[in-house]
Amino acid sequence: MTLNSYDAFVIYNPVGSDLEFVQLLASIMESPPYNLRLFVPWRDQVHGDNYISADLIENKCRKCIVVLSPNFAGSQSAEFQLKYATSLSPANLHNRVIPICVEKCKVPEVLRYMCILQYHKTDIRPWFWKRLCKAFTTNGSGADLTGLSGTKEVKEGVSLPDIILDTSSHTIKLNWTV
């Protein structure tokens, strides 16, 4: 992989509340203390060409943030970008894909067993931005990564588990972000 230009590619459907959330996401995560560089389609790209998106996802972005809502399934570009991003990291072993649920919705099958940040749950929202930033500062083993665009340090905060219900086996799995 070549030198990354962006910390994350944002995969979303640019309509309604999804666009509003992505604007909020960019304003917070691209500012101190996080200072991440996000590639936001329709803001940073003249047109939504899937070839250009695939190249950016694979060669210029370390991670992909996926904004999930009922609107997500209405975007063929977003679905293509999600499938392409997940194909680069089967089973998300390198935590390359960071799903965020901004509204209660059906989760795409390829994300079903991943840890999903739940922005729509207002009771855990105070920890949301720190938890999202943690996804950029650690890999699957919990080791610190270097090379973030200006991110100096993430202060320790309260960790909450993401609860995943596996309906096929009727089990509950807790994924802790440390």
| Residues spanned by the domain of 13 | 6-176
Count of structural domains within the chain: 1
The strand order across the sheet containing 6-11 reads 38-39, 6-11, 61-68, 97-101, 117-118
- In a structure prediction context, what are the per-residue pLDDT tens digits for the chain, which is 178 residues long? 345 599 999 999 998 899 999 999 999 999 999 999 999 998 887 565 677 889 999 999 999 999 999 999 999 999 999 999 999 987 777 789 999 999 999 999 999 888 999 999 999 999 999 999 999 875 544 433 344 443 333 334 434 444 444 445 555 555 554 4
What is the model's pTM? Answer: 0.75
Q: Return the pLDDT at 157.
A: 43
50 part of a folded domain? yes
159 part of a folded domain? yes
CA distance linking residue 100 with residue 117, whole number of Å: 5
1 part of a folded domain? no
3 state DSSP class of 161 = strand
CATH of the domain at 30: 3.40.50.10140
Q: What is the dihedral of CA 157, 159, 160, 161, to 10 degrees?
A: 150
Q: Return the pLDDT at 86.
A: 93
Q: Return the pLDDT at 138.
A: 58
CA distance linking residue 53 with residue 85, whole number of Å: 10
CA distance linking residue 169 with residue 178, whole number of Å: 26
DSSP readout, 26-74? HHHHTSTTT---EE-TTTS-SS--HHHHHHIIIIIEEEEEEEESTTGGG
132 part of a folded domain? yes
Q: Return the pLDDT at 89.
A: 81
C-alpha distance across the termini of the chain, in Å: 27
Strand partners for 68:
101
63 part of a folded domain? yes
Q: Return the pLDDT at 168.
A: 52
